[in-house]
Amino acid sequence: MVVKLKELAEKLNSSIEELTGLLKKLEFDYDEKNLEVDVDIAELLEDEIGTTKSDIENLAENIEGTMDREIKKTARKKTAGKTKYVKRNKFDSSLKSEILDVSNSISVKEICEKTGISPAKLIGELMKNGIIANINQSLDIDTAMVILPEFGIKVNRVSETGSTDDLLSRDVNTLIGEEDAENLSERPPIITIMGHVDHGKTKLLDTIRNTNVVAGESGGITQHVAAYQISHNEKKITFIDTPGHEAFTEMRARGAKLTDIAILVVAATEGVKPTTIEAINHAKDAGVPIIVAINKMDLPDANPEKVKNELIEYGLQAEDWGGDTVMVPISALKGDGIDKLLDMILLVSEVEALKANPTRAAIATAVETHQEPGLGPVATIIVNTGTLKMGDIVVLGNSYGKVKAMLDDNGNRVQFAPPSFPVLIAGLSSTPLAGDVLQVCKNDKEAKDRANQISEIRTNERLASKAPLLEIVTKIAKGDLKVLKLIVKTDTKGSFDAIKGSLMKINHEEVMVDIIHHAVGEVSQSDVAMAAAGQSIIIAFHTKTSSDVNKLAEQKGVEIRSYEIIYKLIEDITAFLSGMLDPEEVVTELGKAELRQIFFTKKNEYILGCKITNGIMKKGSTIRVIRDGETVGEAKLDSLRKGNENVTELKAGNECGLKVHFKDTFMEGDLLEAYEVSFVERKLEV
C-alpha cells in the first residue's frame, strides 16, 4: 500500500518539497513520478514527527528521550550481549533469518537484506532508541545486540576474517579473536604423548585407541589419520597420534599451538633419561600442563617411588608427595591404570576450562600432510574452534580448495567436524605444511588470493638471508620476548654448574636469563628444533657442533654461539641483556622566559615575543607553560629569532621571538620553561 505525499505533507503540517527533502536525507525510497511513498514509511514519519517541522535537526530533537541519548548509548554498551533473546515479531515482519552474525559493525541495509526486516521499521526502532540512522548507516555490534531482539533476531558476535599475516604467523588466538561467553561450550582436550625412547609411548597410544574402537569399525584409507578421538565417561579426548616431543617441537617451531595437555611417559624400571628431561623442558617452555604416566608397572623391578624422586629435580613433584603434578602408575602392555589416566586427563582439562564456539566458521591446525592415492593432497587437521563442514571453501597455508571429503580416524566419511575433532580433508590445491592454520573463506577467490600471498611471502623468506640474533633482539625490543632464553650444552656437568652460577648472579627486575634446557654433549638437531620453537639461543661451551647441525641451524634461523672461556660467555650475555634494557630518560632543564606579547595565532601555531630571564632558549626544545604557578600545558619550540635572524639558541637577557606549536591558548605574562629529553643506554652491573 502507498500514501500520496500531498496527503502526508498536510498531516505533517509541511510542504511536499520539505517532505521529499527529508525522505532523501533519510535515504527512504519513494515514487518521484507519482509522488507516493510506502505506507510503512508514512506511518513511521507520522509517529515520529507528528506536527513538527520536518527539518532533520528538529526531528532529532523531538524524539522521545533524545536528551538522554548519551545515557542510552552507555546503557547499550552495558547491556550488549546480555539481552535475553525473545522470539517475537512486534512488527509482524516476514523474517528471512532469526539469527544474524555480526563482527564489529553492520549496516542497516545489510541487516534488512539478511533478516527481511523492513528498512522503515528498523530505522523507526533506532529512532525510538535515540539513534538517527539512514539505510547506509553502520551500527556497532553493541547497538545491534540491543535493537534486533525486539524483532525476534538473535545476534551472534563473530570474529572478522584474519589477515594473511595472521595465517602466516599461525597465531590461532588472533584468528579466533573475541568470543561472546554465551557462544562458548566445553570442548575435548587435545593430548600429546612424550617421553624417552622405549618407555612405552607408542604402546600407550595403541592401547588407549584399541580399547575404544567399536567392533567392526575399519578404515578405508591407506594411511591412518594422524590423530584420533576416544570417549571416556561420556566425554571425548583427542590424541595426536605421533608420539615423541620431536613432532611436538617441530609443530611449535612452525608456530602451531595445538596441545592442551602433555602426557610424559616414564618407565618405572628405568626412571628419568636424557630424552625425558628434554620432553619436560619442551612442555614447560610451551606452557603446557604435564601429567606423568609411570609405565611398565607390571614388571617385577618397577620402582615408581624412584621415578617420583628423580622428577623432583626437574620441577615435577607428585601430588602424594606434597606437589601439584598428577602422576598415574600404568601398564600400557596390560591396560592397567589406563582408565585412571583418562580420568586425570578429564580432570585437568576441566581445570583448564577448555572452550570453543561450535557455531562459527572453523579455524583448524594441520597435524600432518601428504599425498593420498585417489584423494590427492590431504591434511589431517584438528579443529580449534567452529565447525568445519563439507563444501566449505578453505585456505590452509599456501594451499586452498573446497572440502570434498572428510574422513575420521576410522576412515569413515563425516559431514562436519566440531571443535577438537580430528579429520583428514581432501580437495586441496597443493600439499600444505604441518602446523599451517586452516580458515574458512567467503569464496574461492578470497581463499586463492590468501594462499598465493602466503606462497609468495614464504618464497621470499627462503631467498632472504636472516640475522637470527638481530631478529631476537628486535622481538625483545617490541616486547614480544620478555626473557633471554638459552639452551646450554657443555663438556661436563661441572662446566654447566659454573656457567649457571655466574648467570644467576645477573639479577635485574626488567630482564632475565631463562635456561630452558641443558645437557652434556654436542649440540644436536633436537637442540636446534627446540631453539627454533622457543626462540632461544644455543650456547656451546667446550663442545662441538657438527656440520649437519650447523646447516640445520642456518635453515631454521637458530643462533649457536660457541665459547672456550667462561668469562667471555658471561660478558657477552651481560652485554646482550644490557641491550634489552630500556634506555634511561634524562631531562635537562635549559632556561626560562617571560611571555611579553602574542603576535600571531593560527591553527595551534603561535609567534610570541619573550624575554629570557635565565638559562637559554633552544630550538627544538619542549616548553612548559606556567600560569599562576601551575603547568597548563606543553608546547614545542619550532624556531627562535633574534631580530630578523634565525638562531638555534639564546642566553638570558635577550629579547626574542618564538614560533611554537601549542594546542591550548597563551596569555601574556605566562612563564615558559624550556627543557630537552635525552636517552642514555643502561648497563647491567654484575
Question: Can you list the positions of beta strands (E) in 220-288?
Answer: 227-232, 235-240, 261-267
Residue 457 has pLDDT above 70, yes or no: yes
Residue reference for cell 624556531: 639
201-210 vs 338-352: helix axis angle to the nearest 10? 90
Q: What span, in angstroms and rounded, lies between the C-alpha atoms of 280 and 277?
A: 5
Residue reference for cell 590445491: 429
Residue 465 has pLDDT above 50, yes or no: no
Average pLDDT over residues 15-43: 76
Residue 66: pLDDT band by 50, 70, 90 thresholds?
very low
Give Cα separations from 159 to 78, 97, 180, 472 (angstroms).
20, 20, 10, 30
The model's pLDDT over 360-384, given as tens digits with 9 standing for 90+, comes to 888 898 888 888 888 889 999 999 9
Ranges 297-306, 481-490, 656-665: which has the least confidence: 481-490
Which uninterrupted H or E stretch holds 193?
strand 190-195
Nearest to 341 by CA among 293, 308, 307: 293
The model's pLDDT over 408-434, given as tens digits with 9 standing for 90+, comes to 988 899 999 999 999 999 999 998 887
The model's pLDDT over 198-237, given as tens digits with 9 standing for 90+, comes to 898 889 998 998 876 543 343 433 345 688 999 999 999 9
Q: Report all structural domains of the chain as residue ranges with CATH numbers, in order of start.
A: 2-61 (no CATH), 66-157 (no CATH), 188-353 (3.40.50.300), 363-462 (2.40.30.10), 468-580 (3.40.50.10050), 584-680 (2.40.30.10)
119-128 vs 108-115: helix axis angle to the nearest 10? 130
DSSP for residue 679? E
Residue 469 has pLDDT above 60, yes or no: no
Residue 328 has pLDDT above 80, yes or no: yes
| Bigger pLDDT: 468 vs 505 | 505
Ranges 73-77, 291-295, 357-361, 467-471: which has the least confidence: 73-77
Residue 618 has pLDDT above 80, yes or no: yes
Q: What span, in angstroms and rounded, lies between the C-alpha atoms of 378 and 370?
A: 6
Residue 150: pLDDT band by 50, 70, 90 thresholds?
confident
Output 313-320 pairs: Cβ under 8 A, ≥24 positions apart.
313/272, 314/272, 314/277, 314/280, 314/281, 315/280, 315/284, 316/264, 316/280, 316/290, 316/292, 318/292
Predicted local confidence at residue 503, as pLDDT: 84
The model's pLDDT over 155-189, given as tens digits with 9 standing for 90+, comes to 777 655 555 555 655 566 666 666 667 778 999 99
Residue reference for cell 575435548: 188
Predicted local confidence at residue 169, as pLDDT: 54
Residue 580 has pLDDT above 70, yes or no: yes
Q: What span, in angstroms and rounded, lies between the C-alpha atoms of 450 and 161?
A: 11
